[in-house]
Amino acid sequence: MIMLNTRVRPAVSGDAAQITRLLNTIIDAGGTTAYQTPFDVDKMRHHCINRPDLVCSHVAISNGQLSGFQYVGWATSADTMPDGWAMIATFVGLDRGKMGIGQKLFSATRFAAKAAGVQVLDATIRGDNVGGLKYYGGLGFTDYAEIPNLPLADGTPVTRIRKKLMLT
Protein backbone atom coordinates (compact mmCIF):
# COMPACT_ATOMS: atom_id res chain seq x y z
CA MET A 1 0.00 0.00 0.00
CA ILE A 2 1.27 3.46 -0.92
CA MET A 3 1.64 5.79 2.06
CA LEU A 4 0.71 9.35 1.24
CA ASN A 5 1.63 12.47 3.12
CA THR A 6 -1.49 14.49 2.30
CA ARG A 7 -2.31 18.01 3.36
CA VAL A 8 -5.38 20.02 2.48
CA ARG A 9 -5.51 23.75 1.95
CA PRO A 10 -7.79 26.30 0.29
CA ALA A 11 -7.48 26.36 -3.49
CA VAL A 12 -5.83 29.40 -5.02
CA SER A 13 -5.82 30.73 -8.56
CA GLY A 14 -2.38 29.22 -9.18
CA ASP A 15 -3.84 25.71 -8.66
CA ALA A 16 -6.09 25.98 -11.72
CA ALA A 17 -3.67 24.31 -14.16
CA GLN A 18 -3.16 21.25 -11.94
CA ILE A 19 -6.88 21.01 -11.14
CA THR A 20 -7.63 21.23 -14.87
CA ARG A 21 -5.24 18.36 -15.65
CA LEU A 22 -6.72 16.21 -12.90
CA LEU A 23 -10.35 16.80 -13.91
CA ASN A 24 -9.67 16.46 -17.64
CA THR A 25 -8.06 13.07 -16.98
CA ILE A 26 -11.24 12.01 -15.16
CA ILE A 27 -13.40 13.37 -18.00
CA ASP A 28 -11.28 11.52 -20.60
CA ALA A 29 -11.66 8.24 -18.67
CA GLY A 30 -15.45 8.69 -18.59
CA GLY A 31 -18.05 7.00 -16.45
CA THR A 32 -17.86 8.94 -13.20
CA THR A 33 -18.53 12.61 -13.87
CA ALA A 34 -21.36 14.30 -15.72
CA TYR A 35 -18.75 16.62 -17.28
CA GLN A 36 -17.87 15.51 -20.78
CA THR A 37 -16.21 18.60 -22.18
CA PRO A 38 -12.63 19.22 -21.04
CA PHE A 39 -11.92 22.42 -19.15
CA ASP A 40 -9.30 25.01 -20.00
CA VAL A 41 -7.41 26.71 -17.17
CA ASP A 42 -9.42 29.97 -17.27
CA LYS A 43 -12.75 28.14 -17.24
CA MET A 44 -11.55 25.98 -14.35
CA ARG A 45 -10.37 29.00 -12.40
CA HIS A 46 -13.82 30.57 -12.77
CA HIS A 47 -15.71 27.31 -12.16
CA CYS A 48 -14.16 26.14 -8.90
CA ILE A 49 -11.89 28.83 -7.47
CA ASN A 50 -13.27 32.30 -8.28
CA ARG A 51 -16.97 31.67 -8.88
CA PRO A 52 -19.30 34.28 -7.37
CA ASP A 53 -21.42 31.69 -5.53
CA LEU A 54 -18.41 29.84 -4.08
CA VAL A 55 -18.59 28.76 -0.45
CA CYS A 56 -15.18 27.09 -0.37
CA SER A 57 -12.69 25.23 -2.53
CA HIS A 58 -9.92 22.96 -1.28
CA VAL A 59 -7.07 21.01 -2.81
CA ALA A 60 -5.30 17.95 -1.48
CA ILE A 61 -1.56 17.80 -1.97
CA SER A 62 -0.08 14.32 -1.59
CA ASN A 63 3.66 13.79 -1.71
CA GLY A 64 4.01 17.18 -3.40
CA GLN A 65 1.38 16.56 -6.12
CA LEU A 66 -2.18 17.82 -6.38
CA SER A 67 -4.18 14.63 -5.80
CA GLY A 68 -7.73 15.92 -5.42
CA PHE A 69 -10.01 18.89 -5.04
CA GLN A 70 -13.42 19.66 -3.66
CA TYR A 71 -15.59 22.72 -3.88
CA VAL A 72 -18.94 23.90 -2.59
CA GLY A 73 -21.13 26.50 -4.26
CA TRP A 74 -24.35 28.00 -3.00
CA ALA A 75 -27.42 26.59 -4.70
CA THR A 76 -28.89 29.11 -7.13
CA SER A 77 -32.49 29.64 -8.17
CA ALA A 78 -31.78 27.42 -11.20
CA ASP A 79 -30.93 24.57 -8.82
CA THR A 80 -34.41 24.75 -7.23
CA MET A 81 -33.16 24.14 -3.70
CA PRO A 82 -34.18 25.91 -0.51
CA ASP A 83 -32.17 28.74 1.01
CA GLY A 84 -29.21 27.51 3.01
CA TRP A 85 -28.44 24.65 0.62
CA ALA A 86 -25.15 24.31 -1.25
CA MET A 87 -23.81 21.84 -3.78
CA ILE A 88 -20.58 19.88 -3.35
CA ALA A 89 -18.31 18.30 -5.95
CA THR A 90 -15.28 16.09 -5.28
CA PHE A 91 -12.57 14.85 -7.63
CA VAL A 92 -9.64 12.63 -6.72
CA GLY A 93 -6.94 11.49 -9.13
CA LEU A 94 -7.74 8.18 -10.80
CA ASP A 95 -4.67 6.57 -9.24
CA ARG A 96 -5.42 7.99 -5.77
CA GLY A 97 -8.80 6.49 -4.87
CA LYS A 98 -9.36 4.78 -1.52
CA MET A 99 -6.36 6.49 0.07
CA GLY A 100 -8.28 8.82 2.39
CA ILE A 101 -7.87 11.91 0.22
CA GLY A 102 -11.61 12.51 -0.11
CA GLN A 103 -12.11 12.23 3.65
CA LYS A 104 -9.33 14.74 4.30
CA LEU A 105 -10.84 17.13 1.78
CA PHE A 106 -14.27 16.78 3.34
CA SER A 107 -12.97 17.49 6.84
CA ALA A 108 -11.80 20.93 5.70
CA THR A 109 -14.84 21.50 3.50
CA ARG A 110 -17.35 20.62 6.21
CA PHE A 111 -15.74 23.07 8.62
CA ALA A 112 -15.69 25.88 6.02
CA ALA A 113 -19.26 25.20 4.85
CA LYS A 114 -20.62 25.28 8.41
CA ALA A 115 -18.70 28.49 9.11
CA ALA A 116 -20.26 30.05 5.97
CA GLY A 117 -23.77 29.17 7.14
CA VAL A 118 -24.50 26.23 4.86
CA GLN A 119 -27.34 24.22 6.37
CA VAL A 120 -27.52 21.34 3.90
CA LEU A 121 -25.03 19.97 1.36
CA ASP A 122 -26.33 18.38 -1.84
CA ALA A 123 -24.24 15.87 -3.75
CA THR A 124 -25.75 14.96 -7.11
CA ILE A 125 -23.98 11.88 -8.45
CA ARG A 126 -24.28 9.78 -11.57
CA GLY A 127 -26.20 6.65 -10.72
CA ASP A 128 -23.50 4.52 -12.36
CA ASN A 129 -20.70 6.13 -10.31
CA VAL A 130 -20.49 3.39 -7.68
CA GLY A 131 -17.37 4.86 -6.08
CA GLY A 132 -18.87 8.33 -5.77
CA LEU A 133 -22.12 7.00 -4.29
CA LYS A 134 -20.14 4.96 -1.76
CA TYR A 135 -17.90 7.92 -0.90
CA TYR A 136 -20.74 10.31 -0.12
CA GLY A 137 -22.71 7.59 1.68
CA GLY A 138 -19.67 6.92 3.86
CA LEU A 139 -19.59 10.60 4.82
CA GLY A 140 -23.19 10.38 6.04
CA PHE A 141 -25.02 11.73 2.98
CA THR A 142 -28.43 10.12 2.48
CA ASP A 143 -30.48 9.71 -0.70
CA TYR A 144 -33.35 12.16 -1.07
CA ALA A 145 -34.20 12.21 -4.78
CA GLU A 146 -33.49 10.58 -8.11
CA ILE A 147 -33.45 12.20 -11.53
CA PRO A 148 -33.98 9.37 -14.03
CA ASN A 149 -32.36 9.36 -17.47
CA LEU A 150 -31.00 12.91 -17.46
CA PRO A 151 -28.96 13.18 -20.67
CA LEU A 152 -25.26 13.92 -20.60
CA ALA A 153 -23.88 16.45 -23.08
CA ASP A 154 -23.59 13.69 -25.70
CA GLY A 155 -27.23 12.65 -25.17
CA THR A 156 -26.52 9.49 -23.17
CA PRO A 157 -29.25 9.13 -20.52
CA VAL A 158 -27.84 8.65 -17.01
CA THR A 159 -29.80 8.63 -13.78
CA ARG A 160 -28.59 11.06 -11.10
CA ILE A 161 -28.86 10.24 -7.40
CA ARG A 162 -29.25 13.23 -5.11
CA LYS A 163 -27.82 12.88 -1.62
CA LYS A 164 -27.92 15.38 1.21
CA LEU A 165 -26.10 15.99 4.46
CA MET A 166 -27.54 18.20 7.18
CA LEU A 167 -24.88 20.46 8.69
CA THR A 168 -27.07 22.18 11.28
Q: What is the pLDDT of residue 164?
A: 96
Burial class (CB in 10 A: 0-12, 13-18, 19+), 34: middle
Q: How confident is the model at residue 26 (pLDDT cuts 50, 70, 90)?
A: confident
Q: What is the pLDDT of residue 18?
A: 94
**Is 47 strand, coil or helix?**
helix
pLDDT at 36 over 80: no
pLDDT at 98 over 80: no
Q: What is the pLDDT of residue 28?
A: 84
Burial class (CB in 10 A: 0-12, 13-18, 19+), 57: buried
Residues 161-167: what's their mean pLDDT? 95
pLDDT at 42 over 70: yes
Residues 58-66: what's their mean pLDDT? 90
> In this structure, what are the phi and psi dihedrals at residue 93, rounded to the nearest 5 degrees?
-50, 140
Q: What is the pLDDT of residue 95?
A: 63
Domain ranges of the chain: 6-166
Report the 10 Å Cβ neighbour count for 80: 8
Reported pTM: 0.89
Instruction: List Cβ neighbours of 6 (8 Å cut-off, separation of 6 or more).
Output: 60, 61, 62, 63, 67, 99, 100, 101, 104
CATH 3.40.630.30 fits 6-166, yes or no: yes
